[in-house]
Amino acid sequence: MNNGQNMQDFLENMRWRSDHKHDVVSADQKIIMRPTEEGLKLDVEGDGMFEMNPVAHRQIASVNRIPNDYYNRMRESSEPLAAYSVNHFMQQSERRHMVRTIDGKAGAVVSDSFLRLDNEIIAQAVLPVLHNNPNVTPLGLAFTDLRMHMKMLFNDMEFDITGKGDLVKAGISMTNSEVGFGSFNMQGFFYRSFCDNGCVFGKTDMGLNFTRRHLGSKQDVGVQGVFSQATMNHHMKAIMSSATDIMAYISSRDAMEKMAQTLRETTQGAQIAPTHIVQGVEVLGKQYGLTQGERALAVGNLIENNDFSRWGVLNSFTKVANNLEFDRAGELEAVGGKIIDLHPAAWESVVERVNAMPLAA
């Protein structure tokens, strides 16, 4: 598993980002794309000209309903054409958007009702609680263009899932996107150290997760919104109070024992026939959006582990995440959570369908 930064570097990175962030809400008609010698830039009237990262390019295309492949083709072949197309639609718009910038570069173009639940707000609420627990160890800390990732392990909570020394450590996983690519999510997490793969625990009926969408009230044009800073601070405090309550529960032995028992249940029931593991991975891989290359790696993992139960299959998928960048790795860890969430009858139905498939000649 890619562990990312150590805690000190992670916090310094967060402080730098917090100090260099700047947001502006503007009418679309006052957001102009301009081709320059350094590439396409966004000119936000009254606030400056900003370079654009890939996320901002993707979002400005989406805002104007320009297919991303076509937009990228215009950027490659004719930046003036891309700018003309964007500006044409922006000038026709009566909407407003928030341009989120960092270090003078546009990192996102989001709705004017985007709730700025930023990484430092989350860190200020949750890290002191975790820091005060001597049994907590960072497992994965990173920032990407899309998300912040924090994974922490509880070293005093280790469980044998199969009864044969297949040990997992319990933990907590948190992700947040300041640029509109997902909610603030906090979930129970488990980690198999012998093969370095982990998985978020998706059971919503056990209180082992917390989600808050970045959806707030529309903002007035300019940096300040329609609500006072005191009102926004109160709102954020309420959100983070709920999050820390959930975190305290996720961190409890009672919650982690329940998670471990649910994981043990995935070792029981129907199993994919050894002759049909390729078909099984293909069916589930398509269902959960794995690429062809990721499916091939999952097949190899399944053969290596020689466990064709639901437990074996979900771990063959999440192990693929070990060598991937953080955002995609997190998506595959979430796939493992979805397989955990499958009702036993649904899993049995998948297995029956897979095992009945004809074998290649």
Q: Does residue 168 have a pLDDT over 90?
A: no
| Least confident range of 36-50, 67-81, 164-178, 276-290 | 164-178
Of 140, 157, 349, 329, the closest CA to residue 256 belongs to: 157
Phi/psi at 89 (5° precision): -75, -35
| Least confident range of 1-5, 33-37, 48-52, 229-233 | 229-233
Give Cα 13 distance to the centre of its chain.
19
Residues 40-53: what's their mean pLDDT? 93
| Least confident range of 50-59, 119-128, 221-230, 306-315 | 221-230
3-state secondary structure of 76: helix
| Least confident range of 18-32, 118-132, 327-341 | 118-132
pLDDT at 293: 95
pLDDT at 309: 95
Q: pLDDT tens digits, residue range 314-330?
A: 999 999 988 788 899 88
- What's the whole-number average pLDDT of the chain? 87
Q: Does residue 39 have a pLDDT over 50?
A: yes
Q: Say what percent of the chain tops pLDDT 70.
A: 87
Residues 86-102: what's their mean pLDDT? 96
pLDDT at 242: 82
pLDDT at 190: 86
CA distance 44 to 38: 17
- Sequence ranges of the domains in the chain: 22-111, 119-264, 269-355
Q: Say what percent of the chain tops pLDDT 90.
A: 53
Residues 143-151: what's their mean pLDDT? 92
Choose between 84 and 201: higher pLDDT.
Answer: 84
Count Cβ neighbours within 10 Å for each residue of 96-119 and write b for 16 or more, e otherwise.
bbbbbbbeeebbbbbbbebbbbbb
pLDDT at 227: 45
| Least confident range of 194-208, 221-235, 291-305, 334-348 | 221-235
Q: How confident is the model at residue 226 (pLDDT cuts 50, 70, 90)?
A: very low
pLDDT at 223: 47
Q: In what order do the strands lie in the sheet with 39-44?
A: 21-27, 96-102, 105-111, 48-52, 39-44, 31-36
Task: Give the CA radius of gyration of the chain.
Answer: 23
Which helix (H) or strand (E) element contains residue 183?
Answer: none
Q: Does residue 145 have a pLDDT over 80?
A: yes
pLDDT at 189: 86
Burial class, 238, CB count within 10 angstroms (exposed 0-12 / middle 13-18 / buried 19+): exposed
| Least confident range of 196-200, 262-266, 284-288, 333-337 | 196-200
Q: How confident is the model at residue 106 (pLDDT cuts 50, 70, 90)?
A: very high
pLDDT at 255: 86
CA distance 242 to 117: 14
pLDDT at 9: 92
3-state secondary structure of 280: helix
Q: pLDDT tens digits, residue range 256-294?
A: 888 889 899 999 999 999 999 999 999 999 999 999 999
